[in-house]
Amino acid sequence: MITTLSALALISIGLIYCNGLEWVIHKKLLHEWGKAKNSKFRFHWEHHNLTKKHNGIDPDYETHSITRESYFVLLLVLLHSPIFLISPLFYLTMVAHGAYYLYVHRKFHMDLHWAKVSTPWHWDHHMGPRECVEANWCVTFPLFDYIMGTRKPYYNTNRYFMDMAKKSVRAINEKDN
């Protein structure tokens, strides 16, 4: 019989594990391995390009209800399924986190206001300067970015407001010309 304390511990460990997995996959597979021209993970750079081009929106999320990342999350859930035999609660936490990840990432790329307010670390990863794009690997919450020292804030910082002011001045100058 599992106690409430044991259940909370398993859920917490499951969430920490999933956040670490999210960090590793995003950093290693999608960014490091994904840079190679013939990589299976090259699609992630297309995602970044679309997001930059559309100021945070990824139009693929509007046109496709099931994305490559949906299949990848499902694959991860299936690969981890033997854990169910050892700890059903830990495994179900992973399944719930996978669904939550898909929800958060999709909502981020379809609702810019929500994105900035609810997941500024992911906004920084997509819309910030290069040092923020090459950091901020977590999507759902930035725990492992803090642990690994890769959380680089940009949104709502002085630099962000200076960059927005510069963009506004450029837009005004272009309009006048």
- Per-residue pLDDT reduced to its tens digit, 3-31: 999 999 999 999 999 999 999 999 999 99
Predicted confidence at residue 154, as pLDDT, reads: 96
pLDDT of res. 68: 83
Q: Write out pLDDT tens, residues 50-64.
A: 998 998 898 888 887
Is the Cα dihedral 106, 112, 113, 116 positive or negative?
positive
Name the DSSP letter for residue 54.
T
- By C-alpha distance, which of 61, 34, 66, 35 is closest to 50? 61
What SS3 class is residue 110? coil
Instruction: Record the tokens describing residue 17, joined without a space.
Output: 């594990």
DSSP state letter for 93: H
pLDDT score of 139: 96
Dihedral through CA 145, CA 43, CA 105, CA 98, nearest 10? Answer: -80
Q: Where are the beta strands (DSSP E) in the chain?
A: none
Q: How distant is the alpha carbon of residue 124 from its chain centre?
A: 10
Which residue ranges in the chain fall short of pLDDT 50?
none
* pLDDT in the model for residue 4: 93
**According to the model, what pLDDT value does residue 101 have?**
97
Strand, helix or coil at 176? helix
Cβ atoms < 10 Å from Cβ of 19: 22
Inter-residue contact 91 to 84 (CB < 8 Å): yes
Tokens of 67: 């994305």
